[in-house]
């Protein structure tokens, strides 16, 4: 059950890839340096893990948005 969506601020993202180092099944920095988001949905049980990923982004480019 999707409780949250991951949002990427493309203006801030520079493809550093800390997100990919934490969940490479969901985040992939392409060879051109652009972030590819595989499945932006986050469940309630995953929330804490993805909040940590959001916090770990050095460019503050990630956000978790609540889905109604």
Partner 1 sequence: MTLFSNFHPLITDIDISSLAFWSKTFQERDDSFKRLRDEAPVSWHAPIEDLDLTQEDHGQAGFWAVVRAEDISYVSQHHEIFSSAKGHTMLHPGRPEMSVAAAFLDQDPPEHTAYRKVMSSYFTPKAIARLSEKIDARAAEIVDRVVGAGDIEFVAEVASRLPMLTVADLLGVPEEHMEMFRDNGDKLLALQDPDAGETEEERMAVVGEAFGFFAMLGTEMAEAREKNPSDDIMTALVQAEVNGKRLDISDITMIMLLLSTAGNDTTKQTTTWSVMNLVKDPAQKAWLLEDYDARINGAVEEMVRWASPVIQFARTATQDIEFGGQRILEGDKVGIFYSSGNRDDRLFDDPWKFDLARPRNPHLGFGGGGVHYCLGNGVAKAQLRALMKNILTKLPDIELGEPTYLVNDFINGVKTLPVTIR
Specify whether the CB–CB gap between 13 and 35 falls below 8 A.
yes
Chain positions 7 to 26 lying near partner 1, rule: CB under 8 A, are: 14-18, 20-21, 24
Of 25, 16, 30, 23, residue with least CA distance to 51 = 23
Measured from the CB atom, the residue of 32 and 68 that comes closer to partner 1 is: 32
Decide if residue 28 touches partner 1 (CB under 8 A). Answer: yes
Decide if residue 63 touches partner 1 (CB under 8 A). Answer: no
Decide if residue 58 touches partner 1 (CB under 8 A). Answer: yes
State CA 21 to chain mean position distance.
11
């Amino acid at each position: 059950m999707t409780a949250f969506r991951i949002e990427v601020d493309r203006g801030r993202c520079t493809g550093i890839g800390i997100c990919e180092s934490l969940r490479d099944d969901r985040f992939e920095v392409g060879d051109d340096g652009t972030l590819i988001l595989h499945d932006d949905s986050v469940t309630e049980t995953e929330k804490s893990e993805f909040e940590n990923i959001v916090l770990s982004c050095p460019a503050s480019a990630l956000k978790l948005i609540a889905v109604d």
